[in-house]
Amino acid sequence: MSGKKENILKKYSLSLLENNHEIKEIRKIGYIKDMFNNKNDYEELKDFSKNLNLKFNNINLIQNDVIYSIKTNITGDFMKWHCDDALIINHKSNLIQNIEKNQQNQQNQQNQQNQFKISDKKCLYYPNKIPKYSLIIYGSTYNKDFEGGILEFSDGTKIKPERNLCVFFDSREAHYVHKIKSGKKELILIKFF
């Protein structure tokens, strides 16, 4: 890796994939027509309906608990390694001790449920609800509408966005969005809780 230190969240996510094969098996990459019933184009999904009518047979999606957003990324935008809706925080020794001792008071239980140790010094912390799955639907195309902006997963999978391309994945999986060098990238992000 040419002397460069590997990102701790990427390393944690790779370990998670190695120990939980179902996480990678959940990842689906395809087009709108492959994932949605009666939908073929990005424009048809811009007017959100809670009844998404997805074609996934083996994944239990409770579609009334979703967050839907339309995003436009412009030149210079990128996202460091992250898990959707999570923050990376430093360990607080007393909080870690409480987690390890499994204290019964409600606040410590809440912290324990929303916090995952990713290294000796860092935790992945969810200040709100933890999303179960994420779905990205692209409305623009790499090297046509924009340059850069590639989506990368911790296992090295890189996805060049393309209009109507969908990427569905377990929200525990860390990912990185490369810097947009020029142009504008449009997408819809749906998180399932």
DSSP characters for 137-172? EESS-BTTTEEE--EEETTS-EE---TTEEEEEETT
Q: Which domain holds residue 143?
A: 26-84+128-192
pLDDT at residue 182 is higher than 90: yes
Which residue has tokens 């689906």?
Answer: 28
Distance of CA 63 to the CA centre of its chain: 17
Buried (b) or exposed (e) across 94-123, using 16+ Cβ within 10 A?
A: ebeebbeeeeeeeebeebbebbbebeeebb
**80 domain residue, yes or no:** yes
pLDDT tens string 71-80: 999 999 999 9
- Domain membership of residue 150 (yes or no) is yes
**Contact assessment for residue 166 and residue 35, using Cβ atoms and an 8 Å cutoff:** yes
Give the residue carrying structure tokens 């027509």.
33
pLDDT, residue 1, reads 42
pLDDT band at 98 (very low <50, low <70, confident <90, very high): low
42 plus 116 within the same structural domain: no
Tell me the CA distances in angstroms from 48 to 66, 77, 140, 188, one per residue in order: 11, 25, 18, 10
* pLDDT, the chain, mean: 85
- Helices and strands in the chain: count of H runs, count of E runs: 6, 13
What would the pLDDT profile of 134-178 be if each residue is shown by its tens digit? 999 999 999 999 999 999 999 999 999 999 999 999 999 999 999
Indicate whether 108 and 164 sit together in one domain. no
| Residues 154 and 64 reside in one and the same domain | yes
pLDDT in tens, 42-57: 999 887 766 677 776 6
- Does a structural domain hold residue 177? yes
As for how many domains the chain has, the answer is: 2
pLDDT of residue 46: 85
The answer to whether position 10 is within a domain reads no
Q: Do residue 77 and residue 151 come from a single domain?
A: yes
Q: What's residue 103's pLDDT?
A: 41
Could you tell me if 93 and 59 lie in one domain? no
pTM of the model: 0.85
Question: What is the residue type of 100?
Answer: E
- Asked if residue 72 belongs to a domain, the reply is yes
Is residue 18 included in any domain, yes or no? no
- What lies within 8 Å, CB to CB, of 112 at 6+ separation is 98, 99, 102
Name 71's bridge partners.
Answer: 187
Say yes or no: 182 and 135 in one domain.
yes
CB distance 73 to 185 below 8 Å: yes
Is 6 part of any domain? no
The yes-or-no verdict on residue 90 having pLDDT over 50 is yes
76 and 132 in a single domain? The answer is yes
Asked if residue 94 has pLDDT above 70, the reply is no
